[in-house]
Structure formats: structure tokens, C-alpha cells
Chain A
Amino acid sequence: MDKEWLTIALAKGRILPPTLQLFTAAGIDCAELSADTRKLVFTVGAQKLRFILGKPADIPTYVEYGAADLGVVGKDILLEQEKELYELLDLKIGACRLVVARRRGSGAFTGGYVATKYPRITERYFQQQGKQFELIKLHGSIELAPLLNLADVIVDLVSTGKTLAENHLEEVETITPITSRLIANPGSYQVKGERVMAFTRKLERVLSVQEEVQ
């Protein structure tokens, strides 16, 4: 494997467009990724960059095993998977929050059934609160669970809160705010140290300009 090349794993879906926007602003050529193709690997020879596209939850795995040097992934996934990965930068994109929600008007949650896509985060959170609970792992449409009496509360990702409202749910508490992060595996961080640092600095500069503007 060539030490000169940098492979970056990006998540398909919601956070891809803002990621590409940020990369472009930092002078990282990723124009090809914006095109609507089914390709999963993109090579930018001039900058010795390779991009791979994967499902968000798989990005940490690609990076962990060295299939990719760097990755862009939501903090929710990092918290859930607890892998030994380095978190280099908060990219401030894909902002949302992880919340506990319940059926509108239902009483305070003192314990019971919790439906979620994030069993580990949920377990840690309710354990810290000393509450009794049973986890019900679902893979999507978590909002349905309280309506179908599958669960008393849910733990899910919320950006505007619209989906919750439409399903007669209300936010009870925020577990943590979430943004996308630039991650690296220990091997690439060391072996390709200079390239990784240079790449991080490019993004950092754009982010600090954005911060000033705001």
C-alpha cells in the first residue's frame, strides 16, 4: 500500500452533500462524488486521494481495519460503536441531537421499555440515571414504537423535531448534541502522519473562517 495515498471513507446519505461542500471549500477535489453514479470508489490522482462510499454505520469499521485512513461519520455512531479510533476534528456538519422522546402527554419516565437504534448509548445513559429499563433494538421507524405500545420511550436522532411531532411524540431530554467528525485509525495517524495532519489543517482553516463569519 502506497504511503503517499490517502483513502477517505464517506457516508452515503444525509451528510454527504455538506461533507463534499466542506471538502471543496478546503480545496480537496471531490467533484466526481457529487455526480449521481453507483460507483463506490473514486480516485483523484492529482491529489493522491481515494474516496470510498459506505453506509454510515460501516465507516468506523473501514477505518478501524485500515481499509480507509480517514473517515467522516456522525458522533452518534462513534458513541454507539466505541471503537479505538482517533477523533481529529469536529466538522460541524450534520448537526442534530440524540434525545429521549415519549408520547405527548404521557407521564414522566421512571423506568420501562426503551426502543432505539442505539442500544449501547441508551444503556449507558439510563444506567447513569439509575433507572430500570429493558432495551428493544429496532432498525428504523423508531417513532412507531410508543404508538404501538412496544415501548414507553424511544432514544433517537432528531434534527428539526418534525418527525417526532408528526407522530405525536415529544422530546423529554437531550442526551447529547451530535455533529460529524473526522476520524483516523492509529496506523494511518502514525504512518501517514504528515498527510493526515495537512488534510486536517486544510479543513480546520475552512472551519475557523466559517466560525468567524457566524
Chain B
Amino acid sequence: MQEKLKRLLTPEGVWDLLPDMARQKRKLEEKIQELFSRWGYQEVSTPAFEYSANFVGEMKDGLAEQLYRLWDERGRTLVLRPDFTIPLARVAALHLTQAPQPLRLCYGGSIFRQTAGLQGKQRELTQAGVELLGSPHAAADAEVIALAAAVLQAAGLEEFTLCLGHSGFLDSLLSAYQVDLAERAIIKRLFYQRDFVTLKKQVNRLPLADRQKENILRIPTLRGGREVLEEARELLTTEQADRPLATLAEIWSVLEDYGVTAYLQLDLGLVRMLDYYTGMVFEGYTAGLGYALCGGGRYDRLLEHFGPARPAVGFAVSIDHLLTLLTREKKMPALTPPVYVAYGRGGRAAAIAAAQALRTGQTPAILAAAAATAAEARRQAAVRGAQRLLYYSEAGVLDLDLQKAAGEEELDG
């Protein structure tokens, strides 16, 4: 028995989804894909595994160690996809070069990452996201951010924060101060980790004027509404840092037109992954969840690894994190309870006809597997959480509203 049980359990980091939860997850995914489609994004589907060469080298920081690798019959290394951005870049370069630009693509499904054990981290993660390929404009950045806000709203979240930064801001400031490349990488990493303790030590060691050091160390405090851009401009009067600020100002203006700036918070110290994003970056958070619900940004240098160079911007939302949150806040998509259709002697044909009519009318109907007495049928309906019982027999039809009946019984008790 012990051996059998061991065989039946799933490995660490992956889960079976049981009835209701599985359906609710599917409904949430459908709702999000439906939204993507209404914004003009076309769904593409890519294989769960691909040649590892596509991923290694173009990888986001730290992902290489998290790959699930396998081999095909010719000894070539394959990987389970660890994200969707690279497969979509590949698809765009391989199959969609003739499609009208910019290209709006969306996706949804599982990604696989080996994480350290015993941390409660899932290893098969479900994501949904979009990529807008071929537009360098701030309006494209804004569209993707506005769509992320729409996704969180559609999922049922009322309060959330989208923090917005620009990967060029810190970079251009450090280059204006002539910080060498090795030091720049260290400082960027410290911003990425938000290790302000080490950052302070590191910056104070640089051969810079005190004012320049202060400026770098003030970046983490450049957070808030649109006024932050003015503050940053006064603080950092270098022309290079001005371009990212101008882009952010433009994105903000477009988002005003979308009416989503209430969710927006600028954060000029935001660094997402290293050497991957080339422009705007953003992340979505909500109270009570320590990690990001969604995130994305502009990565104009990725597509040239697969085909023609093309600017690109996109984001992904974690379906798992959304489900965790919706479950906790009891905001899961509601499921319609079924009607239980049963029959006794002589009632089968009528029961089948009734069940089919309900199904055609979008109401879920469960047909009893065999003839039963009315009392049995009622019990069977109750344990299945049915909203209504229809019982057909020679005597005609019994139509019982079970939700009402349950309420009355409670009152009686």
C-alpha cells in the first residue's frame, strides 16, 4: 500500500487540480485570452519542448540553472520551455515575417522551472501574456501596460499597483558619470536585488564626486506619481538620462488617455532582469502578496537573435499567483451548479430530451446513469450540489428547486 501510494503522488512542485479548481482556472484563463483577443492580439501556441540552443544564450538572468533538460533520439538537448517570450520571438522570426507590422501575439500555458526544493515553489507554472512586435513607440509600451491593468481588473482585482521604470535611466546616468562597465554591472545587479546596504558601500567606493554619489543613491527614492519625473530631471541633469524620462512621460500621458494612471506608480530604481530589457519595464503588485503578479517591458534586442531586428514589448501574468489571490479573497469565478436529470420506469426518453434541451441552453445537466426511485434521485442530486432536480417517470415529471428546498429544510431545523 505504501509503495502504491508513493507511486500515485506527484513530484514536488507540481499539482493535480481537482474539480471546481481546474474548471475555475480554465475559466480565468479563457477570460484573459478573450480579453487579449478583444484587444486585437492573436493567440499562438508553441511546443512544450524545444532545442536548448534557442534558450541558452538568450536567457534571462539565472534561468539557465532552472532548465529541465532532456535528450532526443539523436542526442540533441531539448528543454522544457522556461518562458514564452523566446518561443514567440522564434515563431515571429520563422513564420510571421510577412505578417503586417506591428504584430500582436498572445499565449497561455505552462512553463517549467527547476527551483530549490522545500520552499513551496511550483515548478510547472501557468502564464498568460502578450508580445507586441515591431513598434518602437511609447504608445505600444502604454498599450501593453494598459492591457495588463485590464487583465488584473478582469480577474476581479480592485486594488493593485503597477510600478513603472526604465532600464535606460540608471544605465545612462552611470555612463554619463563614466562608471566603468564592470562596476556598472555590479551596481545594476544591486538595484535589481534592491540590496541598498551593499549599494551604499559600493557607490561610496566609486571615484565620483560626492554629489554624483548622492544622486545614484537617491534613485531608489524616486518613486511615486508623475512628479517623480520632474524630480529626477532636476536631480540628474544629464542629457542621456533625459531620453528615458521623456519616454516615461509620454507613456504616462498615453496611460492617462486609457484612464489607468490611478494604478500607476513610477519607480526609477526598478531593474527587471539584467541585460534583457532595453526600455520601459513594469511589474504589478497587490497587497498581501509578496511577489509580482505580472511583469514585462521592452526588449528591442531579443528578436535579432532569431531573425530581422525588431523592437518588441510584452508582459506576462502568473495565473497561479492570481488563483492564489482570488482563492484567498474568495473571488474565484463562480461555476453554475448543474441540473440533475433522473428517471424511473418509462421516463428515460423524456429525461434524455430534457437534459439535451438544458445543455443546448447553456445550463449544465447531469443525466442519471441508471433508473432510480425519486428518493434516490433526490439524494444523488443533493450530493452533486445540483441546483434543481428533474425526475421523469410514467407518472409524469417532478421538478424540484433544490436550492430553495435546502433553504426551507434549514429553516425547519
The answer to whether A and B belong to the same complex is yes
| Chain A CB within 8 A of B290 CB | yes
Q: Do residues B291 and A186 form an inter-chain contact, with CB atoms below 8 A?
A: yes
- Of B74-82, B177-185, B192-200, the one contacting chain A is B192-200
What class of interface size applies to chain B in its complex with A? Answer: 20 to 34
| Chain B CB within 8 A of A190 CB | yes
Q: Do residues A90 and B197 form an inter-chain contact, with CB atoms below 8 A?
A: yes
| Chain A CB within 8 A of B159 CB | yes
Query: Within A1-18, which residues are at the interface with B (CB < 8 Å)?
Result: 1-3
Q: Do residues A186 and B283 form an inter-chain contact, with CB atoms below 8 A?
A: yes
Q: Do residues B196 and A88 form an inter-chain contact, with CB atoms below 8 A?
A: yes
| Chain A CB within 8 A of B170 CB | no
Point out the residue from B195, B198, B286 that lies within 8 Å of A191, measured CB to CB. B286
Q: Do residues A86 and B287 form an inter-chain contact, with CB atoms below 8 A?
A: no
**Is chain B's binding surface mostly helix, strand, loop or mixed?**
mixed
Name the residue of chain B whose CB is nearest to the CB of A75: B197
Point out the residue from A3, A88, A90 that lies within 8 Å of B287, measured CB to CB. A3
| Chain B CB within 8 A of A134 CB | no
A165 CA to B193 CA in the complex, in Å? 38
Q: Do residues A193 and B265 form an inter-chain contact, with CB atoms below 8 A?
A: yes
Q: Do residues B197 and A190 form an inter-chain contact, with CB atoms below 8 A?
A: no
Name the residue of chain B whose CB is nearest to the CB of A5: B287
- Of A31-39, A43-51, A59-67, A93-101, the one contacting chain B is A59-67
Interchain nearest-CB distance for A67 vs B (Å): 8
Check A187/B287 contact, CB under 8 A, given A3-B159, A197-B221.
yes
Query: What residues of chain B lie closer than 8 Å to A191, measured between beta carbons?
Result: 160-161, 285-287
Check A185/B287 contact, CB under 8 A, given A87-B198, A90-B197.
no
Name the residue of chain B whose CB is nearest to the CB of A189: B194
Q: Do residues A66 and B221 form an inter-chain contact, with CB atoms below 8 A?
A: no
| Chain A CB within 8 A of B267 CB | yes
Check A187/B197 contact, CB under 8 A, given A3-B159, A193-B265, A197-B221.
no
Q: Do residues B285 and A87 form an inter-chain contact, with CB atoms below 8 A?
A: no
A191 CA to B284 CA in the complex, in Å? 9
Q: Do residues B292 and A187 form an inter-chain contact, with CB atoms below 8 A?
A: yes
Interface set of B (CB-CB < 8 Å, partner A): 120, 159-161, 163, 193-198, 221, 223-224, 265, 267, 283, 285-292
Interface set of A (CB-CB < 8 Å, partner B): 1-3, 63-67, 84, 86-90, 181, 185-193, 197
A-B contact pairs, 11 of them (CB 8 A): A1-B287, A65-B120, A65-B290, A66-B290, A67-B290, A86-B194, A87-B193, A88-B196, A187-B290, A190-B267, A191-B161
- 18 other A-B residue contacts (CB within 8 Å) besides A63-B290, A66-B290, A189-B194: A2-B287, A65-B120, A66-B288, A66-B289, A66-B291, A67-B290, A86-B193, A86-B194, A87-B196, A88-B196, A185-B291, A186-B285, A190-B283, A191-B161, A192-B287, A193-B161, A193-B265, A197-B223
